[in-house]
Amino acid sequence: MGKDRIASWDQFLGRRTQIDPKVKPFLSDVLAQPWAPKKGKAIELGCGTAPILRWICDKGFTGIGIDISKTAITIAKRQAKSTNLRFRRADLCDLNTAGLGKFDLVIDGHCLHCITDPDDRQTFLQNASSLMNKSAAFIIMTMCSPINRKLFASLCKGQKIINHTIYTPSAQARKYHGAITA
């Protein structure tokens, strides 16, 4: 990372100096799956200062980041000066997606967990869906407190937690040949 870049909001605010160390391995794992796009157009919803989007675009994607914060977008633009990334300030629960196009990779940049109103969540997810081309991958990342495994097991039957990742069974799992399974 260049000396004029900050890793994340936390560093900008004087806290942690790097993005969560679990993010890169998680994204690497996702992108290694046979069903994941290897290049194309990416959009990060709730990009903040865009460390995730910059990392994704270093892997061969072009991209756009959207965030509600004017400060975040200003910092993201400054940090991405030498790239072809674009940024837009917008409310993801009141987003006109018509002019944005379709994307191969849609990323929830640790945003969805901040949207607590059920109607706003539905709007966010509908907007994300409208941005996806037919074969797009949608990555949802969240920052949650430690999991109460006993409560989780009783509420989320059939799901597993392995190395801080929740695996959810899918009726269509067999069509993703070579996918990592738990």
Q: What is the pLDDT along the chain (182 residues), one digit of tens a residue?
A: 444 554 455 454 443 334 566 788 888 888 998 889 999 999 999 998 888 999 999 899 999 999 999 998 998 898 888 888 999 999 999 998 888 999 999 999 888 878 878 888 899 999 999 999 999 999 988 766 566 778 777 877 777 777 666 666 666 655 555 555 54
State the fold for domain 21-144: Rossmann fold (3.40.50)
Q: Where in the chain is the domain with CATH 3.40.50.150?
A: 21-144
Q: Which amino acid is at 38?
A: K
| Structure confidence at residue 141 (pLDDT) | 83
| Structure confidence at residue 101 (pLDDT) | 93
Residues contacting 49, CB < 8 A, separation 6+: 6, 8, 9, 12, 72, 75, 76, 79
> 112: which DSSP letter?
G
Element (H, E) at 11: helix 9-12
CA dist 53 and 55 (Å) reads 5
| Structure confidence at residue 34 (pLDDT) | 87
